[in-house]
Structure formats: structure tokens, C-alpha cells
Structure 1
């Protein structure tokens, strides 16, 4: 178990699932948009990917930069910057894989949500993969209370911007991408639901 943790860190279990399936085996450049301290980047850093990360919190950027320096000294520190997901400071079609884990449900409103998604899609190469984990109302639609602008009060007391299957399918079509896996949702005892949205860019 210690070897497993050393290899993958505290990675999102559904991102781990994609790695086990070999989905990203041909990817070389990876961006974690909302990387925090780098919990989802340990495997990529250890396996010679070109790893980039952005986070609006400078403290988190400092932590992920230190993690990169320890695990992959060859990975430039300049790859990690303080920025927002809706205004990514990268060229178009720069990455083979873009990760967005527990970021999109902090959208302020539908326009903010769409701007984040389109920004991440812009920097994704044709044929590249987009991995997102985000809160949804799938399975708990009758248990959440609307607050306006697409935000809801969840049974666990948190406030989140929520999507549903129809919204995700509509955006997938709008982007011109396709689901390389079905949409999957985990219901945490009817307190909150987290959905996995896995796309590939045509």
C-alpha cells in the first residue's frame, strides 16, 4: 500500500481508474486546472510527463511547485502559475490531457461555468482528453434547494453550482467533443453527488 501511495499520491479515484485503463498512456503534456497542492499530479510527475498546473491560490502554487521539484526536478518550476481556469495563460491546443477535479462546481453562475469549460477546451489538443469531476444534482434533484444562478444548497450544507446529465450532454455536443466513457455519478448517502465527465476532443 505504501508503494501504491508513493506512486499515485492521494489521486482522485476516478482519475486513477483512467490511468489503470491506459486511457492517457499516449499523453505527454498534462494540465491540472485547479491543481491545489498537486494531489492528482504525483503519478504524472513520477513518470516523465510534461506537467503544468494553475491555481488561483499562490500558496497552493508554491506547494505544487515544491512537489514537482522533489519528484521531477527536470519539470520547470515555471510550469506552475497562479491563474484562473477561465483565463488560462497558455496557447491553444497545448495539452494532451486537461484535468479539472472539484473546480467547476465553484462557478458563480452559468456564464462563469461555461467560460471555465471553454477555456480548458481551448488549450486541449485535437484528440486530447478532458477529465472533470464536479458536483451535480443527479440522484438528489429533490433534495437540493435553488439559490439562483445555477447554485444550490446541498443536504450536506455546502453551496455549489450544479449540473445534470442533460447539461453535460448539451455542452459536450456544443464543444464538438464526445464521451469516451459514460457519465458516472457517485451518491454520497444523499448528501451530495459527484459526477465524472470524461471527454475526448475530435
Structure 2
């Protein structure tokens, strides 16, 4: 489990409900940064991570704009924060914009520092995810197990730290949230299962299949 808290806690609980015991190995530490709304009027806010909700602070609610959320977890976090969720996507941000971009042409993306660019969005950084040092001893928890990767960046970071410690992945299995995550994780895994939807429930189901 490569997610930082609190997302890792929810995924671990979901895995436990299927009979799987999981351990968190966070690769990043998430922290807020100061931000300001770029000049211009906006029709809606795009959120691609629940981290944006957690770390944007009171400035997010002060925008008083409808939210377009990528994924159910992000939508749930926004709703819990009292925001008005106008749409929830089930794919990536491009699919969300294809579906709702004409209805909401001026979109403000509250995002992390490391993100993919889309010309249809005005993006502002509200949080950063700094890489954490990972020891060979910490990586030992992955031996012979199922690794859950929720993002391409986490998958890339995992392979980098494994390479730094001269560790292979042939005895590990990978549950990936998407094809992009699986691609970022590289080759050589004992087995790979991709979630059939980009949701936490789906990646838990993929991990269950690998564990059986």
C-alpha cells in the first residue's frame, strides 16, 4: 500500500473487509502551500484529488463554485467539506472535461504541484507531495506480497527506490488503479491486475484477485 494517510487508512480497512492484511508504505508526504485565485472569473472548480480538498484551506469554500470531481473519493471529500459537487467523473480529467467543458467553459483546477497539464484548465498549486526516503528494510514488507499503486507517480517512485536498493519485483504482484499506473510501474512483476474502474473499491477487488 503506497498511499499516504488518510487515504491509506481507508484502503487498508477496505482490504481488511475482504480478509487481506495490509501495511502502508507511503512514498510521499503531502503538505499544503499558500495559494491565491488567479485573475479571471470561473464557472467551476476541477478537483482531481481529495488532497486538494484537505489542503486548500478556507479559500476553497470561499470560491463558492460548483465542483467537477475526478473520481468518487474526491467527490465524497468535496461533499463532506460542504462543497456543491456538480459532476463526478469515472475516468481521467480529460474525460471529465470532454463531458462538462462546454457547460463550464472557465475552469479552475486546484491541484498538486506535480500534475499533467490541460490547456482547458487554469491550474493553481494548493499542495505538494514531497518524496520520502525509503530504506531497504522498509521495502522488505513488499516481499512476496501484493503492491497497490494508485498513481503513476507513486509507481515510478517505487521502481526508483527499488532500483536504488537493487531489488527486483518478480516475486511481487501489482494491483494498479489504471493502465497508466501499470505502465508507469514497468515490467517484471510476478503478476499485474488493473482495476476495472479508477476507484478504491475496484483496486481492492484487483488486489483480492491477485491474492487468491
Same-fold call, TM cutoff 0.5: no
Larger strand percent: 1
Structure 1 length normalisation: TM-score? 0.37
Q: Whose Rg is larger?
A: 2
Structure 2 length normalisation: TM-score? 0.36
